[in-house]
Chains A and B, each alone.
Chain A
């Protein structure tokens, strides 16, 4: 007699066409050209990067583009030691929120070229781009951020 069937595996595969949106598309086109371009809220004047189409606190479109420097400050970080499905980089790595100079909000990116135990909140960092031929409409065009030499 064979054993009871106590479980089944149901494969699910769904295909989507993802549209990041008008604002994010503009941002990513600029990234492909090597530029960080945020958007300013017409009401509260805060500069969002990456822009997502609306100012999340005012609920209005952020149309005005603002080119940002590629230097900024670490506002928070964590050292990741746990591998997971779909992971972009090998463990361990440091994922940090970085607030670019001229922006009012941080975004996630990698910190490298420094021993992890020396990373601290408030540290000054700059973008390190991949070779030009690898630039594209993705924030993966930036290899990582590293401490500024200053």
Chain B
């Protein structure tokens, strides 16, 4: 009986994602170093923004700017980051509720952290319109 075969297989593609009006506002905002949210008809501000109220599916009312500083709602510290992750040193994943927003967004935090910590976006020197234009959040 012979050994069954194995071989490496790579699934690789650079997906070209068109954004539509709402995400265009968000990503253009990132490039311009600001964070855009979407205000629902009930007045809640969703960040990152969606064209719809996530609770009901209704169209949102308008786009609004929110702060690039906010509060950590929950976090997890990772000692051994994986190669594709945003930082190559130990960091924390966190859900961050930015000032002016009613929902929290996922990003990474570099530095001491606990629930309730205030953190602020650290922008990359060169921003291009991508979620990693925020290199990470750091203690405010």
Contacts and interface: CB of A to CB of B under 8 A. Distances in A.
Question: Taking the complex as a whole, does A directly touch B, i.e. does some CB pair lie under 8 Å apart?
Answer: yes
B41 to A, nearest CB: 25
Interface stretch (B23-31, B61-69, B102-110, B113-121): B23-31
B8 A16 contact: yes
Per DSSP, chain B at the interface is: mixed
Given A4-B24, A4-B28, A5-B27, A12 B6 contact: no
A25 B8 contact: no
Contact of B15 (A5, A9, A17, A29): A9
Interface size class of B (residues with CB under 8 A): 20 to 34
Contact of B19 (A6, A17, A26): A6
A12 B16 CA distance: 11
Interface size class of A (residues with CB under 8 A): 20 to 34
A14 B27 contact: no
Interface of A: 2, 4-22, 24-26, 28-29, 137
18 contacts: A4-B28, A5-B19, A5-B129, A6-B24, A8-B129, A9-B16, A11-B12, A12-B12, A13-B12, A14-B10, A14-B12, A15-B9, A17-B6, A17-B7, A18-B9, A24-B5, A25-B3, A25-B4
Interface of B: 2-19, 24-25, 27-28, 30-31, 128-130
